[in-house]
Structure 1
C-alpha cells in the first residue's frame, strides 16, 4: 500500500509535472456486476501528510459502498438524496427502471453517458436546478475538445437528453423535484447534432470489393456487398457479441470471446436453396427477406466461397478464424477503404443509407423501400434517404407534362 495507508483500492498514477495522482479503483468483479464509479480521482495529494487521512477516509467509504453493492445491499446504493447522482444510481438499480429493459449494447452506451453526467453535475440538487444551469452545462459540454476544434454538439445534446430521461424516470418513481425539472426540460430546446448526409455510392462499393479481395479480405467485400444490396444493418449481417446468460451453457459450435457469445448475424443456414435470405432484424425484430439472385455484387462473391466452407457464420474474420471481434470489422474496413481511395467521410454504416437512396432515385415506391429495409415507419425510411432525386424528378416530369398540356389547349 502506498505510504502504508489504510486505503483499500488506492492506486497512484504519475503526474506529468512530477509526483503522483491518487485514484480509487473498484475491483474488476464489482465493475462487471454494474458497480459505479469504476474509477474515482481523489482531489488530494499523497505527498502532503495532511491529505493522507482524507485519502484513507475516501477510499474506505468507496470500498464500503462497493462491498455493500456486491453483498446485494442495493437499497443503500439506490437511496435517493435529491442529487442527480443519486437519481442516476436509482435509475440503474431499480428493477422497475427502463434501464433494466435495455439491450446489452444500449445499456453500455447509456452507462457511458450516465458516467459523464454523474462526473460533471452529479452533486447538484435537482430541486435547485434551473434552466439557466442546464443551458450552462450544455454550453460547457459542447466546447471543442481542443482549441480550434469542432464543437461537440452531439455530446452536449446527449447529456441533456439523458438528464431529461432520468427526470422522466424520477416522475414515474415519484421522486421529489423530478416532475418540476422534467417539465422544464420537456419545453426547453437545445441545438441538436445535424443528421448525417453522407451516402455510400455504387462506385464506392465497386472500388472497395476488388481491393478487399486483393488484400485477402473477402469477408469485408461480402459484408459490404450484402449491406449495400439488401439495405441490411451491419449488425444483422456480421452479428454481435452479447454477454453470456448466467447458468446457461453455450451451444455446441458456438463462438465465445471475453465472456461474450456471438449471435444474430447471418449464417449459411439463413440462405435457402434458392438463395433467399429470411431473417428477423436485431433492432426491431421485423422480418426481412431478400432474393440474393437479384444482387449481382453478392452473387459474384458467394461463387468464390468453396462448398466446404459454407457453414456457420457468413462473415468470418480471415485472420482470427471466427466472427469479427467488436469494432474490428469497422477498423479493418477502414484499412481497405483507405487503400481503395474511398473518401474518409464515407463509413461502412453508410451502406444502408446508400441502398435506400439509390432505390428512391430508381423510382421505387417508398413503402416498398420501407418494407425492404424492415422499417416500421415510412418516416424512418425517409431519414435514410439522403439527397435522392427520385421524388423531385417525378414531380418535375409531371409539371413539364402539365405545362405541355396547358400549351396545347
Structure 2
C-alpha cells in the first residue's frame, strides 16, 4: 500500500503508538497547525513519489519572504512523520523519505539574540502598567524575568477538560469545556514571600530578593514595598488574570498583548516574550 502525505498525517494524529498523542496540549495544537499546512500544500502527494529535490523545493517555497523558521518547522514535522511511518507503520517509503531528509541540508535562519535585558524588561513593565493599564502583563514580565520562568509556568494554559491534571477553574466554549492548569497561584507564596513550586521542575525562591516582582506586588496591593505584607495579597487563585475577562489569559491573547506593549516600548522584533526567562542575570 502506498500512502499519501495526508494519509500519513491522519494516522500520525490518531495511532496509539504515535508520539503526537503524548505531547502536551499546547505543543500538540502548535504542531497540528503545521501538519494542517503540510496537508493543505502537499497532502495529495504520494510518499513513493516524493524525492529529495521536492523537499528542497518545498522548503524554499515555505521560506520565501524570510520565513526560514517556519520552513524549518514544517520540514521538522515531515521528518517526525517519516520517522513515525518508518517505525510504527514499518513503511518502506517512509524509511526512504527519512533517509533523504537525513542527507539534505536546509537553509537555517541566522541565530538571533535570545536574551532580554533588564532595561527591556523594565520598559515592558512600565508601558504595560502605566500606558495600557495592564498590570497583569507587567507582573507576568517581572516573574518571567526575575525568576527565569517560561510563559506557560507563569500564566498557565487552557486545555480540554478531559486532559491533564484536575482543575477547579473551567469555562465553556463552542469547542467544549476547557480548564486552566500549570500557572502560578497565590497559594504557592507563603507568609515569608517564599514561592514554592513542584512539578516538571522545582522552584523555591525568596521573592523579597526580586526587585521587579516586589514592585509589582506592591502596585497590586497599592502599598509601598517597605510596608507590603503577605496579608495584603490574595490567598488563592491564579496570580495572572486578564483584566478584561477576569480569567487567566489564553496563550494567544497574552502573546498578542505582550507584543503590543513591546512595540510601544520600542523593543526590537527579535526580542520575544520567550526570551524573558533567558536573561544573563544570575538566579535570585
User: Which one of the candidate residues 95, 104, 110 is aligned to 1:188?
Assistant: 104
> Which residue number in structure 1 is paired with residue 90 of structure 2?
174
How many Å apart are 1:324 and its aligned residue? 1.7
Are 1:128 and 2:49 an aligned pair? Answer: yes
Is structure 2 residue 179 aligned with structure 1 residue 261? yes
What SS does structure 2 have at the residue aligned with 1:260? strand
Name 1:292's counterpart in structure 2: 207
| Count of matched residue pairs | 269
Q: How far is 1:276 from its partner?
A: 1.8
RMSD: 2.5
Select which of 241, 250, 275 maps to 1:316: 241
Deviation per CA, 1:343-385, whole angstroms, max 9, x where unpaired?
A: 45433222112x2x233xxxxxxxxx6xx8xxxxxxxxxxxxx
SS in 1 for 2:219: coil
- Contact kept in structure 2, 1:82 and 1:176, CA below 8 Å: no
Give the counterpart of 2:155 among 238, 250, 273.
238
TM-score of the superposition, structure 1-length normalised? 0.60
Q: Match for residue 118 of structure 2?
A: 202
Q: Deviations over 1:96-123 (max 9, x none)?
A: 1111111111111121111121222222
Q: Distance in 2 between matches of 1:157 and 1:89?
A: 21
Match of 2:281 in 1: 358
**Aligned with 2:249: secondary structure?**
coil
Deviation at 1:241, TM superposition (A): 0.7
Secondary structure of the corresponding residue to residue 273 of structure 2: coil
Distance in 1 between residues matched to 2:233 and 2:75, nearest whole Å: 53
**Inter-partner Cα distance in structure 2 for 1:106 and 1:208:** 26
Higher RCO structure, 1 or 2 (CA under 8 Å, sep 6+): 2
In the alignment, is residue 139 of structure 1 matched against residue 57 of structure 2?
A: no
Against the structure 1 CA distance between its residues 162 and 250, is the aligned structure 2 distance closer, same or farther, given a 3 Å change threshold? closer
Write the mapping of 1:273-288 to structure 2, written as runs, cut at 5 A: 273-280=191-198, 285-288=200-203
TM-superposed CA distance for 1:316, in Å, is 1.3
Partner of 2:225: none
CA–CA distance in 1 between the matches of 2:260 and 2:39?
36
Structure 1 position 278, deviation (Å): 2.1
Match of 2:137 in 1: 220
Q: Higher Cα Rg: structure 1 or 2? A: 1
After superposition, the Cα gap between the structure-2 partners of 1:264 and 1:132, relative to the gap in structure 1 and judged at 3 Å, is same
Unpaired runs of 5+ in structure 1?
Answer: 1-79, 145-150, 360-368, 373-409
Per the TM alignment, residue 239 of structure 1 is displaced from its structure 2 partner at its CA by 1.0
CA distance in 1, matches of 2:234, 2:267: 30
Q: CA shift at 1:210, angstroms?
A: 3.1
> In the alignment, is residue 163 of structure 1 matched against residue 84 of structure 2?
no
Counterpart pick for 1:303 among 210, 218, 229: 218
